[in-house]
Chain A
Amino acid sequence: MTAAAPDLLETRDVSVSFGGFKAVDRVSLNVKEGSITGLIGPNGAGKSTLFNAIVGEQACDSGSIRFRGKEIGGLTPDGVYHHGLARTFQIPKPFAAMSVFENLMLAAPDQPGEHFWVPVVARRRIDRRESEIAERAREVLAFTTLESVAEEAAGQLSGGQQKLLELARVLMSTPKMIMLDEPAAGVNPTLTRVLIEKIEQLNADGCTFLVIEHDMDLVMRHCHTIVAMSNGRIIYEGDAAGAQSNETLLNAYLGATVDA
């Protein structure tokens, strides 16, 4: 990744408020194509709200959001997903009563059988697409080491496995960029290592990441760019070395550990 890489995701002056409270305050964020960008900051800084605003789950008061040069502000989350921008959730949202395999099958795009009249008229077209999707699902299962639990109800998985499932599901559509909301929170060290390894592999294959994470060791080691937020604003944007010596950031977030 070079500094000259173009911006894949670009927000300009995005604001979100809940009543009188400004959760996100004129945030302009750039994510370079091919990067792993870390988004850090104390709880309540507005990181998850920014995520929700980018994918259209949360309406913005103002500002613009561009992805691959196209304005995506105002789109609904399903529209954003089809543009190649996917997200995972801080608290996993598995389709609990469905098997892991079905969770993956569902996440694939372009299944004509998802319109109710098609099962009646074009069974063959559905089956052809199902075979393609199933093949992709088996690849993704192997990649994310979830093969052994493929037939289990997703609600039965451990917290760490559910985090992996979150990643696995969005991989079904081969997105250009994935936004991960605290992928390592509550995950045991072994699974965290697997998760990081997979993220690095996907990144090497050209997938861009924007990652909210509180594990500073992980962020400093694996993120190319670090963006820090506090009270709804961006207070730092730069590399890991700069982040560790930045006065404002130390006070707002990292302070406690460094001062001691």
Chain B
Amino acid sequence: MIGFVSYLVFFLTITAILAIAVLGLNLQWGNAGIFNGGVVAFFGTGAYIMIILGGPERGGEFGGFGLPWPLALAGGAAAAGLLAILVGLATTRLRHDYLAIATFGIAIAIEAFVRNATYLTGGAKGIRGFERPLEALIDNPFLYSLFFLALAVVLLIIVYAGLSRLVSSPYGRLLRAIREDETAARSLGKNPARVRLEAFVIGAVIMGLAGGLYATFYAFISPQDLAPILTFQIWAMLIVGGAGNNLGAMLGTFVVWGCWVASGYVLSSLAPQELQLYAGTLQYILIGLIIVVTLLIRPRGLLPERLQVTKRPGPQNTGVISNAGEQYQS
């Protein structure tokens, strides 16, 4: 029983961390329509910079600044934002699939860099040995895992609340308008280039935060964690949950990560010994399958975006919130 509970805590912690990244992608794609195919680049940057800033000395390699954990985490998120500014400026004229391909390529380049820049990143062996916040104080591993879950959930709630506030403000309306039609928005006095870059950077900072938290949780990061599959998993979570809807993004994370973990368990217990190595690849197929099935039977996700989400002032507020999806079907 305790084994199951402690696994549940572990599962929920990872879910909360990934949900933060999915919320970041939801700001970029769900709200602003920016097709980021390199989520893992920003996630990974947050992870590496966090561990370099906050980690211990590593015999001759760069890093070991031993910054307090919150500062290291913030530094990682800021570095992801900095990367997003560079990427955003370089790809400012790209849209849709072209932008996706460019950002995907950038993520691959960063993974290759991390794998080879041994002095900076430890190369293929990664960086391990990180003292997690308050770990010395809470010496019971189960209690500590509970504490870390609470930490992740609190950060998730903060990100969720901040983003909800942002997308229900006039800024959110502006993001959606730019997503719907950039030329029209520009003709109505808006500056899509500025707003797109901002949304891209804010989303990347959130992904970097998730990455930093991820590296903290495992006290380890390696190029393995920057594999493209993570980008696809995060996309699947957003598509399944419902792009444009923050609650949907979190639900999608839970569902997809649940499927991933459950399928891994089933495969490892059913597949014969000699096929174990290949069983993992079936999970990759599963991610593709989940995306395709969702797009076929529920293209707007489990919790579709709602039509009107800007907070209405004044007494005439009718409170009418209709569902765009239902209207499209009529």
Contacts and interface: CB of A to CB of B under 8 A. Distances in A.
B106 interface: no
B186 A77 contact: yes
B201 to A, nearest CB: 10
A76 B192 CA distance: 11
Nearest to B171: A116
Interface stretch (B15-23, B108-116, B137-145, B310-318): B310-318
Interface in A213-232: none
Classify chain A: how many residues form its interface, as a range. Answer: 35 or more
Residue in B177, B184, B320, B324 with the greatest tally of chain A CB atoms within 10 Å? B184
B150 interface: no
B188 interface: yes
A113 to B, nearest CB: 4
B180 interface: yes
A135 B314 contact: yes
Given A81-B189, A106-B185, A152-B327, A97 B180 contact: yes
Contact of A106 (B188, B313, B316): B188
Contacts, number: 127
Tier of interface size on chain B: 35 or more
A156 B314 contact: no
B189 A95 contact: no
B327 A156 contact: yes
Interface stretch (B66-74, B162-170, B218-226, B233-241): B162-170
Contacts of A169: 188
Given A97-B305, A101-B308, A102-B310, A114 B170 contact: yes
A153 B188 contact: no
A105 B173 contact: yes
B187 A86 contact: yes
A93 B183 contact: yes
A78 B190 CA distance: 5
A25 B164 CA distance: 50
Contact of B188 (A81, A102, A135, A138): A81
Nearest to A93: B184
A131 B310 CA distance: 12
A101 B313 CA distance: 13
B322 A151 contact: yes
Contact of A57 (B183, B316, B324): B183
A101 B318 CA distance: 12
Interface in A90-129: 93-99, 101-103, 105-107, 109, 111, 113-116, 118-120, 126-127
A77 B307 CA distance: 27
A29 interface: no
Nearest to A134: B314
Contacts of A208: none
Given A78-B191, A102-B308, A113 B184 contact: no
A253 interface: no
Interface of A: 55, 57, 76-78, 81-82, 86-87, 89, 93-99, 101-103, 105-107, 109, 111, 113-116, 118-120, 126-127, 130-131, 134-135, 138, 151-153, 155-156, 169-170, 172-173
11 contacts: A78-B190, A93-B181, A95-B185, A96-B180, A96-B181, A97-B176, A106-B174, A111-B170, A130-B312, A134-B313, A152-B322
